[in-house]
């Protein structure tokens, strides 16, 4: 058992029918790091993340989370993971029929917490943590801005104080100011709470400002894994197109030495 790694992917193969998505992917993510999963559309980023959360079994290989191998056959993974994972999905981030309070309280009620005062206390704490106020509690998702939706979804993901946070495209659909605000918030919360983060992202600013590790998927394989510098030096065509263009050069200006 390795108590240093939050996630360990060992020789992961994923196949849907004849469609092979991942070929022999292995990496370890130490606790308290922030991993950005990058790859072309359809390269299998979300599927890989779903395998880490236990929502999807790989065809072959082993996934270790917090030192424990996920047993996909037990049918008990969601219970096993619920208490240690917070998840923020890109689509369906909030239940549209529940107000902000009930959305954030949802995971508490799922695990059987009934004391209303205790739930209210925890919801208020998390709302404040993501920069929202008590008066936002009664708003419905349709009344929120994109940035507020992400913040409420983050508050819900954090309500059980998870050791691991999974984020699918956390800044997609946000304007640059809201996006930077969300990145700053995540940075601050990570600093204060020390959780491990795995996120799927196409956002170069997020990779630059937030991620301590980057995993790049292409042609079913992990073509680069390590600090951003490793991905920036990767010679694969996808990596060169993704990390070496006008926009990327601006974002990574402070890492100029990586461009050669
Ligand atoms: N349950 C499933 N059954 C069959 N095929 C699937 C299933 N889930 C994913 N796939 C296929 O696996 C491939 C990878 O999908 P995935 O969503 O993981 O890619 P992605 O890199 O996250 O893409 P995007 O950036 O577009 O969200 C796609 O070809 C997708 O159609």
Sign of CA dihedral 209, 211, 212, 215: negative
Q: Which protein residue has the closest C-alpha to ligand 1 atom 4?
A: 16
- CA of residue 49 to ligand 1 center, whole Å: 11
Given a contact cutoff of 8 angstroms between Cβ atoms, the answer to whether 260 and 249 are in contact is no
258: pLDDT confidence band, cut at 50, 70 and 90?
Answer: very low
Q: Which of 36, 45, 47, 58 to probe ligand 1 with, by most ligand atoms within 8 A of CB?
A: 47
Across the chain, what does the average pLDDT equal?
90
The domain defined by 5-84+164-258 folds into Rossmann fold (3.40.50)
Given a contact cutoff of 8 angstroms between Cβ atoms, the answer to whether 55 and 72 are in contact is no
Per-residue pLDDT tens for 195-206? 999 999 999 999
Q: Is the pLDDT of residue 93 over 70?
A: yes
The three-state secondary structure class of 145 is coil
Q: ipTM of the assembly?
A: 0.97
- For residues 159-184, average pLDDT: 90
Q: How many residues does the chain have?
A: 260
- CA of residue 88 to ligand 1 center, whole Å: 18
- CA of residue 47 to ligand 1 center, whole Å: 6
Q: What whole-number percentage of the chain has pLDDT above 90?
A: 70
Is 95 close to ligand 1, i.e. is its CB under 6 Å away? no
- What are the domain boundaries of the chain? 5-84+164-258, 95-161
Is 44 close to ligand 1, i.e. is its CB under 6 Å away? yes
Per-residue pLDDT tens for 2-34? 568 999 999 999 999 999 999 999 999 999 999
Q: Is the pLDDT of residue 170 over 50?
A: yes
- For residues 116-120, average pLDDT: 96
- CA of residue 84 to ligand 1 center, whole Å: 25
Q: Which of 20, 45, 58, 221 to probe ligand 1 with, by most ligand atoms within 8 A of CB?
A: 45
55: pLDDT confidence band, cut at 50, 70 and 90?
Answer: confident
Given a contact cutoff of 8 angstroms between Cβ atoms, the answer to whether 56 and 74 are in contact is no
């Amino acid at each position: 058992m390795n108590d240093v790694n939050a996630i360990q992917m060992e020789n992961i193969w994923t196949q849907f029918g004849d469609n092979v998505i991942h070929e022999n992917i292995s990496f370890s993510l130490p606790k308290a790091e922030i991993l950005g999963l990058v790859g072309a559309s359809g390269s299998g980023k979300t599927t890989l993340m779903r395998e880490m959360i236990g929502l999807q079994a790989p065809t072959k290989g082993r996934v270790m989370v917090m030192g424990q191998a996920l047993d996909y056959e037990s049918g008990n993974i969601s219970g096993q993971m619920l208490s240690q994972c917070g998840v923020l999905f890109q689509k369906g981030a909030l239940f549209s029929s529940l107000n902000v309070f009930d959305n954030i309280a949802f995971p508490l009620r799922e695990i059987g917490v009934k004391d209303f005062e205790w739930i209210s206390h925890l919801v208020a704490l998390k709302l404040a943590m993501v920069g929202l106020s008590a008066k936002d509690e009664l708003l419905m998702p349709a009344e929120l801005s994109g940035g507020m939706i992400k913040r409420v979804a983050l508050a819900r993901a954090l309500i059980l104080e998870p050791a691991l946070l999974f984020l699918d495209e956390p800044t997609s659909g946000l304007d640059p100011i809201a996006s930077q605000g969300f990145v700053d918030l995540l940075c601050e919360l990570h600093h204060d709470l020390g959780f491990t983060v795995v996120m799927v992202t196409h956002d170069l600013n997020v990779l630059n400002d937030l991620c301590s590790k980057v995993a790049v998927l292409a042609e079913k394989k992990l073509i680069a894994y390590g600090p951003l510098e490793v991905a920036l030096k990767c010679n694969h065509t996808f990596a060169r197109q993704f990390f070496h263009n006008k926009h990327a050069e601006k974002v990574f200006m402070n890492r100029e030495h990586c461009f050669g």
